Amino acid sequence: MYITCIFLLLGCSPASPESEPDVSGEVLEIDVEESKFLVEGHGPLVGQGEETFQVWFSVGNYSEQNPKYNLMYDEDGNEINIEKLREGYNVNVWAQNGITLDSAPPQSIVEHLRVLNKN
């Protein structure tokens, strides 16, 4: 019973930026009014092949509930918000609990984001 509880707790813990990102790719579109952006890339959230996929990521006001969510940083390590994100940026994104909604394209919520470089 004890081991089962540990596995359940570990499975529900927030993703760590030290772990493999859920999606690595390029920001294609940003909707500041809706607080979301579209990334095309690859990673465990969308599949591990040569083929790339698109995922909409929402940036909600979840930091009040859990300050570990919606942490977004530029390539210099400075905290940013969606207004400072730009189309063409290459990013690593960790999804909240590694979950996507089954839609086309899939949708998820940002837990962490790091800008790799600004194209």
CATH number for the domain running over 2-118:
2.40.50.320
Distance CA 64, CA 74 (A): 22
Query: Residues 75-106: pLDDT tens digits?
Result: 999 999 899 999 999 999 999 887 777 888 88
- 3 state DSSP class of 82: helix
Output the pTM of the full model. 0.77
Distance CA 60, CA 58 (A): 6
Q: Return the beta strands (E) in 23-65 as ranges.
A: 23-31, 36-42, 53-58
